[in-house]
Chain A
Amino acid sequence: MPPLTRYFIKTALIYLATALLVGLALAARAAFDLPAEIAALSPVFFHLFMVGWVTQLIFGMLFWMLPKYSKELPRGNEKLAWAAYCLINVGLILRVIGEPLVALRPDLGVGWLLALSASLQLLGGWAFIGNAWPRVKER
C-alpha cells in the first residue's frame, strides 16, 4: 500500500470518528435541550462524513488500486495526488472552523475563511481527478 493511500485512509478514519462525535453532539442537543447554537454544526457533520471519510477513503483506495499509468510512473503524477490530499484537508479544516463561526458570529467578518476553504477543496478535488483520470483506461 503506497504511503499516500495510508495517509488518506488513516486521515479518513480520524474524520469518521470526528463526524460521529459531532453527530453525537447534534443528537444530544435535541435530547437534553442543549444550546440551539450546536445546530450550526449540522453542515459540518455532513461534510466531515462525506468529504473527510467517504471521499478520502475512496481517493486512497483509487490511488492504490487503479491500473498503473506506466512502468516509470505507475501511479501517475503523484505530486497532483499529494496536492489533493493537502488541499482537501486544509480546506475541510477551515470549513469546520469557519462555518459555525460565520453562522454564529457574522459580525467577526471571517466569511473569507469559507471562500478560501471552498477554493482549496475545489482545487483538491480537481487535482485528484487530474491524477486519476489518465489511469482509467481500457485494456
Chain B
Amino acid sequence: MIRLSAWTVRTAMVYLGAGFLIGALMLAQKGVPLDPLMLRMLPMHVEFVLIGWTLQLGMGVAFWILPRFSAEPRYGNQRFGWMAYILLNVGVLSTGVGQWLNAPPLIPLLGRSAELLAVVFFALHAWPRVKPAGA
C-alpha cells in the first residue's frame, strides 16, 4: 500500500471512530437526556460519516488498487492525490465543525468548495488509471 493510500485510509478510520462517537452521544441523549446541545452535532456526524469516512475510504482504496502503469510513475500523478487528500480533510473539518459551532455560513461554504476541488483533483489522479490491463 502506498503512503498516500495508508494516510487516506487511516484518516478515514479516524473519522469513522469520531463519527461513531458523535452518533453514540446523540443516540444516548435520545434515551437518557444529558445535554440537548448534543443533538446539534447531527450535521457534523453526517459530514464525518459520509464524507470523512465513506468517501475518503473509497478514495484511499482507489489510490491503492486502481491499475498501475507499466512505467514510472506507476501510480500516476500522486501530487493530485495528495491535493485531494488535503482539500477533502480541510473541507470535512470546515463544514462539519463549522456547522456544529454555528460558524458564519461562509465557513461551510468554503468547506464544500474544498470538497468539490478535492473531488476534481481525485478525478485528475484516477482518470488515467481507469484503463485496460497492460495499457
- Indicate if the CB atoms of B32 and A114 lie closer than 8 Å: yes
Q: Which B residues have a C-beta under 8 Å from some C-beta of A?
A: 1-3, 6, 9-10, 13, 16-17, 20-21, 23-25, 27-28, 30-33, 49, 54, 57
Other CB < 8 Å A-B pairs besides A115-B27, A121-B27, A139-B2, 11 of them? A98-B31, A111-B30, A111-B31, A111-B33, A113-B31, A114-B27, A114-B28, A121-B24, A122-B23, A122-B24, A129-B13
- Indicate if the CB atoms of B1 and A136 lie closer than 8 Å: yes
Chain A residues with CB under 8 A of B13:
129, 132-133, 136
Size class of the A contact interface (CB-based, 8 Å): 20 to 34
Cβ distance B52 to chain A, nearest Cβ, rounded Å: 13
A and B contact pairs by CB, cutoff 8 A, 25 listed: A67-B1, A95-B27, A99-B27, A111-B30, A111-B32, A111-B33, A113-B31, A114-B27, A114-B30, A115-B27, A118-B23, A118-B27, A119-B24, A121-B20, A122-B23, A125-B16, A126-B17, A126-B20, A129-B13, A136-B1, A136-B13, A137-B6, A138-B2, A138-B3, A139-B2
Q: Which residue of A lies closest to B57 (CB)?
A: A58
Cβ distance B49 to chain A, nearest Cβ, rounded Å: 7
Chain B residues with CB under 8 A of A117:
27, 31
Q: 4 nearest interchain CB pairs?
A: A114-B31, A111-B31, A125-B20, A118-B24
- Indicate if the CB atoms of B17 and A125 lie closer than 8 Å: yes
CB contact under 8 A between A50 and B32, given known A114-B27, A136-B9:
no
0 or 1 for each of A87-102: is its CB under 8 Å from B? (1 = yes): 0000000010011001
Chain B residues with CB under 8 A of A32:
none
Cα A102 to Cα B27 in complex, Å, equals 11
Chain A residues with CB under 8 A of B10:
133, 136
Q: Would you call A4 an interface residue if the criterion is a C-beta within 8 Å of the partner chain's C-beta atoms?
A: no
CB contact under 8 A between A99 and B30, given known A54-B54, A121-B23, A126-B20:
yes
Cβ distance B68 to chain A, nearest Cβ, rounded Å: 13
Cβ distance A124 to chain B, nearest Cβ, rounded Å: 8
Q: Which residue of A lies closest to B34 (CB)?
A: A115
Chain B residues with CB under 8 A of A99:
27, 30
Cα A54 to Cα B53 in complex, Å, equals 11
Chain B residues with CB under 8 A of A118:
23-25, 27-28, 31
